[in-house]
């Protein structure tokens, strides 16, 4: 595995965290930057809400796209690392089952640790 592909896999393992942070940041920014929707009296709120939503649809679409991509990556990355763990010669046979279970249960929380230990680092000298 080349150094570039190792780096790409490493960036993919941490990208769901950044995408979720982007989702939350966009939503918070939308609420804080556009408070005029809730400043009106309650009778005009639905009309004002749809006007604000229409004006900032692209921003909200970007937030939803970031969350969708984070969910997809959070499902795919642990499966890719499970396949790597099963085929890797660097992991002892008795540890492969442990890593598979931990990767499947821990998901994206465990993936960066596995990536660093068994993909990024060079094998110890024999």
Q: Range with the lowest mean pLDDT among 73-77, 84-88, 119-123?
A: 119-123
DSSP for 67-123 reads HHHHHHHHHHHHHHHHHHHHH-SSS-HHHHHHHHHHHHHHGGGTHHHHIIIIIISPP
- Average pLDDT on 79-95 reads 91
What total number of domains does the chain contain?
1
Which range scores top for mean pLDDT: 9-13, 51-55, 58-62, 83-87? 83-87
- Residue 126: inside a domain, yes or no? no
- Residue 47: inside a domain, yes or no? yes
- Residue 125: inside a domain, yes or no? no
- Residue 31: inside a domain, yes or no? yes
Q: What is the mean pLDDT of the chain?
A: 84
3-state helix, strand, coil in the chain (%, to 5): 85, 0, 15
- Residue 45: inside a domain, yes or no? yes
Name the residue range of residue 101's domain.
Answer: 3-120
- Residue 71: inside a domain, yes or no? yes
């Amino acid at each position: 595995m080349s150094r570039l592909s190792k780096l790409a896999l490493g960036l993919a393992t941490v990208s769901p965290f950044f995408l979720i942070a982007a989702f939350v940041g966009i939503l918070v920014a939308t609420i804080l930057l556009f408070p005029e929707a809730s400043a009106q009296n309650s009778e005009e709120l639905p009309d004002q809400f749809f006007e604000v939503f229409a004006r900032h649809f692209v921003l909200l679409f970007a937030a939803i796209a970031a969350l969708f991509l984070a969910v997809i990556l959070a499902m795919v990355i642990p499966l890719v690392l499970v396949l790597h763990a099963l085929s890797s010669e660097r992991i002892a046979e008795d540890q492969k089952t442990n890593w598979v279970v931990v990767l499947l249960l821990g998901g994206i929380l465990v993936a960066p640790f596995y990536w660093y230990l068994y993909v990024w680092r060079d094998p110890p000298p024999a």
